[in-house]
Structure 1
Amino acid sequence: MNTSSNTKIYFASDQHLGAPTPEASFPREQKFVAWLDEVKKDAEAIFLLGDLFDFWFEYKTVVPKGFVRVLGKLAEIRDSGIPVYFFVGNHDLWMDDYFQMELNIPVYHTTKEFTFNNKTFLIGHGDGLGPGDKGYKRMKKVFTNPFSKWLFRWLHPDVGVKLAQYLSVKNKLISGDEDVKFLGEENEWLVQYAKLKLQSKHYDYFVFGHRHLPMEIQLNESSKYINLGDWIGYFTYGVFDGTTFELKKY
């Protein structure tokens, strides 16, 4: 993918719509939709790096109620011809084919490489990568197991969604959320993951979410780790203009 002189590639993550309640997150949804409305004017592509929703589960014929403004805006953007890419996070990891079927938005469950203007990117949500966090990694294996999803689907949506929303907020092992504070470069697991990847292959940018902290860390002379922050307290996003990557606040 190449950008022209007047287009950009945008990145955002961790909106957590629905948390702590739908009413409390509604202003954030409005703000995020306003951002989408603004960036569509010069977007070559838009990347959403997970946890758009604080909880998401797709039954065969049912999806969670709400979020019509952001879903409608994404549909409008895709219908206009602008590519949108979605990476599931730890809060919406049960996403299946709804985005692909209804919105024509591809959904990725693992990191993926992209090349923009000869710059190589490794992109993903970031949960479960790098050393440590073993409790969450074990829990994620259970949650992503097809049998676990099959069992959950047997719960009535009114029960299943309410239970999952409660656990998403209250249980930090299930959610995989860490304390939102900088742990030091040597203790940031995604930084260590990026450094390990660089031992076998060069990337210009590692772009992740999950940590809820806007971060730009130079890994070596030509590689940089970017964390996009969130849309709860920071309202930050990334933009690549074809030459450089920049974190901005909306």
Structure 2
Amino acid sequence: MKQILVPPGKKIYFASDNHLGAPTRDQSAERERIFVSWLKHVKKDAAAIFLLGDLFDFWFEYKTVVPKGFVRTLGTLAEITDSGIPVYFFNGNHDLWMNGYFQEELGIPVFHQPEQFEINSKRLFIGHGDGLGPQDKGYKRMKKVFTNPLAKWFFRWLHPDWGVRLAQYFSVKNKLISGEEDREFLGEENEWLVQYAKRKLSQDHYDYFVFGHRHLPLEIPLQEDSVYINLGDWISHYTYGVLDGADFRLEHYNP
């Protein structure tokens, strides 16, 4: 279990589901400006920043090529890590295909599976959330195809102009990829990430389960001393998580 000590006056920040690049260049650019403004704002007192996936609506790393754009976001993240503030990235279902660029260029570790962290004695189970729980079966089947080494090998042989354009089209249009199922709260018994967290609690204790993917800001008590958190998104809600070393809360960013 990875451990982080939050110094007095510092905080840990969490954000997820920016989907930069969608649905249009202009709309994405406006949301990116807001997110970069938030990054610069939280840098003032951040002990660490967690990004829980789907930062991009599509991302694929060829051996010598990455998707065009997002310069302001990437530059700000480099500035933050260069200043000594650690950033942790959990890839989501839209940015599955990361293969070293964030680590080498930005100094940001990338996690492909949920991880456990202990922050000032609080135990956190952190991940994007895609493919977890008893449902999401259609996406689970699709993810096996996306992560298949042979499928990735064939995709790399497409010219980036064709490959990126094709992937962006399906990323926006295909509901299984985009995750645009009903974004209303389904009730605790039908929220599959809540059910997943409850099963994990039967095996070990966690103070907080922190996920993205669902695009809904949610805080659901699981037990007296355990809470499920969904961070929301940077499309409709502009919400993020804050852990001050003792308590976790969701906040809304309004620049």
> What band does the TM-score fall into relative to the shorter chain?
over 0.9
C-alpha separation between the residues in 2 aligned to 1:142 and 1:63? 21
Residue 190 of structure 2 corresponds to 187
Identity of aligned residues (%): 74
Q: What residue identity is the alignment partner of 1:206?
A: F
Q: Does 1:88 align with 2:55?
A: no
Q: Does 1:169 align with 2:163?
A: no
Q: Does 1:233 align with 2:230?
A: no
Q: Does 1:211 align with 2:214?
A: yes
Residue 223 of structure 1 corresponds to 226
Structure 1 residues not aligned, in runs of 5+: none
Please give the secondary structure, in 2, of the residue aligned with 1:164: helix
Could you give the per-residue CA deviations for residues 216-241 of structure 1, whole angstroms, max 9, x where no partner exists? Answer: 00000100000000000000000000
Q: What residue identity is the alignment partner of 1:151?
A: F
C-alpha separation between the residues in 2 aligned to 1:234 and 1:41? 23
Q: Does 1:118 align with 2:116?
A: no
Q: How far 1:140 moved relative to its partner?
A: 0.2
Structure 2 residues not aligned, in runs of 5+: none
RMSD, aligned CA: 0.7
Please give the secondary structure, in 1, of the residue aligned with 2:161: helix
Instruction: Using structure 2 for the length normalisation, give the TM-score.
Output: 0.97
Report how many residues are paired: 250
Q: Does 1:66 align with 2:69?
A: yes
Residue 148 of structure 2 corresponds to 145
Q: What residue identity is the alignment partner of 1:81?
A: G
Query: Which residue of the other structure, out of 30, 34, 42, is the alignment partner of 2:33?
Result: 30
Could you give the per-residue CA deviations for residues 148-187 of structure 1, whole angstroms, max 9, x where no partner exists? Answer: 1111000000000000000001011233442211111000
Runs of 4+ in 1 over 4 A off after TM superposition: none
C-alpha separation between the residues in 2 aligned to 1:90 and 1:163? 16
C-alpha separation between the residues in 1 aligned to 2:168 and 2:49? 27
Query: Which residue of the other structure, out of 79, 88, 92, is the alignment partner of 2:82?
Result: 79
Instruction: Using structure 1 for the length normalisation, give the TM-score.
Output: 0.99
C-alpha separation between the residues in 2 aligned to 1:246 and 1:135? 32
Q: How far 1:109 moved relative to its partner?
A: 0.5
C-alpha separation between the residues in 2 aligned to 1:244 and 1:227? 15
C-alpha separation between the residues in 1 aligned to 2:29 and 2:76? 15
CA contact (8 A) 1:177 1:210 kept: no
C-alpha separation between the residues in 1 aligned to 2:12 and 2:148? 34
Please give the secondary structure, in 1, of the residue aligned with 2:185: coil
C-alpha separation between the residues in 2 aligned to 1:113 and 1:171? 31
Please give the secondary structure, in 2, of the residue aligned with 1:219: strand
